[in-house]
Amino acid sequence: MLVWMLSIINGGILVLAALFTYESLREQGPRVPKIGAAGVVFHLVLGTMILLWPAIRIPVAWAFGIGLAGSALFLIPYKKDSRSVKGAPGYLSGDGSNFRSMDERDILFARNRCLVPGTKLYELYYAEHPERKKADDGRRVKGGPLGKPGSIDGSYRPNVSMLASSFELPNMLGQKARVFPESAGAQSTYKAKSKVPPPADMDPAKATRIVKGWARHLGADLVGICRIDPRWAYSHKGEIHYGEWEEWGRKVPKPLPYAVVIATAMDHGMVCTAPHTPSVVESGYNYARGAYITTILAQWFGTMGYKAVAEHNRHYDLVLVPLAIDAGLGELGRHGYLIAQKYGPRVRLFAVQTDMPLIPDKPVDLGAERFCEACLKCAQSCPSRSIPEERQKTVERGLERWKLREETCFDYWGKIGTDCCVCMAVCPFSRPYRSIHKLVKQILRHSELARHLFPHMDNILYGRKWKPRKAFDWMQYPKGANSEEMELRS
Ligand code: SF4
Ligand code: SF4
Q: What is the pLDDT along the chain (490 residues), one digit of tens a residue?
A: 889 999 999 999 999 999 989 988 888 877 888 999 999 999 999 999 999 999 999 999 999 999 999 888 888 888 776 788 899 999 999 999 999 999 999 999 999 999 999 999 999 999 999 999 999 999 998 888 888 999 999 999 999 999 999 999 999 999 999 999 988 877 776 666 666 778 999 999 999 999 999 999 999 999 999 999 999 999 999 999 999 999 999 999 999 999 999 999 999 999 999 999 999 999 999 999 999 999 999 999 999 999 999 999 999 999 999 999 999 999 999 999 999 999 999 999 999 999 999 999 999 999 999 999 999 999 999 999 999 999 899 999 999 999 999 999 999 999 999 999 999 999 999 999 988 899 999 999 989 899 999 999 999 888 888 999 999 999 998 876 544 443 333 2
- Statement to judge: residues 38 and 166 lie in one domain: no
Q: Which atom of ligand 1 is nearest to the CA of 376?
A: 3
Backbone dihedral angles phi then psi of residue 22, each to the nearest 5 degrees = -60, -45
Q: Answer whether 420 contacts ligand 2 (Cβ < 6 A).
A: yes
Q: How many domains does the chain have?
A: 2
- Statement to judge: residues 11 and 101 lie in one domain: no
Identify the residue whose C-alpha is closest to ligand 1 atom 2: 375
Using N-to-C axis directions, what is the helix angle for 406-416 and 130-142, rounded to 10°?
Answer: 10
User: Taking the CA atoms of the chain, what radius of gyration do you get in angstroms?
Assistant: 25
CA distance 430 to 340: 9
- Statement to judge: residues 266 and 365 lie in one domain: yes
Residue 17 lies in a domain: yes
- Give the closest residue to 183 by CA, choosing from 170, 174, 192: 192
Of the candidates 57, 75, 93, which is a domain's last residue? 75
- Statement to judge: residues 64 and 158 lie in one domain: no
Residue 132 lies in a domain: no
Sequence-distant (6+) residues with CB within 8 A of 299 are 176, 179, 184, 185, 308
- Statement to judge: residues 221 and 307 lie in one domain: yes
Domain hosting 30: range is: 2-75
- Statement to judge: residues 384 and 479 lie in one domain: yes
Residue 139 lies in a domain: no
**Interval between CA 73 and ligand 2 midpoint (Å):** 36
Residue 284 lies in a domain: yes
- Statement to judge: residues 331 and 371 lie in one domain: yes
Residue 134 lies in a domain: no
Residue 129 lies in a domain: no
Top mutation candidate among 335, 464, 465, 489 for ligand 2, by most atoms within 8 Å of CB: 335
CA distance 262 to 463: 32
What's the predicted TM-score (pTM) here? 0.92
Identify the residue whose C-alpha is closest to ligand 2 atom 6: 423
- Statement to judge: residues 29 and 169 lie in one domain: no
- Statement to judge: residues 318 and 245 lie in one domain: yes
**Interval between CA 424 and ligand 2 midpoint (Å):** 8
- Give the closest residue to 226 by CA, choosing from 286, 311, 147: 311
CA distance 113 to 174: 16
- Statement to judge: residues 336 and 438 lie in one domain: yes
Residue type, 208: T
- Amino acid 490: pLDDT: 24
Residue 133 lies in a domain: no
- Statement to judge: residues 284 and 382 lie in one domain: yes
CA distance 235 to 252: 6
**Interval between CA 430 and ligand 2 midpoint (Å):** 15
Top mutation candidate among 404, 429, 440, 462 for ligand 1, by most atoms within 8 Å of CB: 429
Of the candidates 26, 55, 75, which is a domain's last residue? 75
Top mutation candidate among 276, 410, 412, 413 for ligand 2, by most atoms within 8 Å of CB: 412
Residue 44 lies in a domain: yes
Q: Answer whether 144 contacts ligand 2 (Cβ < 6 A).
A: no
Q: What ligand is nearest to the CA atom of residue 333?
A: 1
- Statement to judge: residues 63 and 100 lie in one domain: no
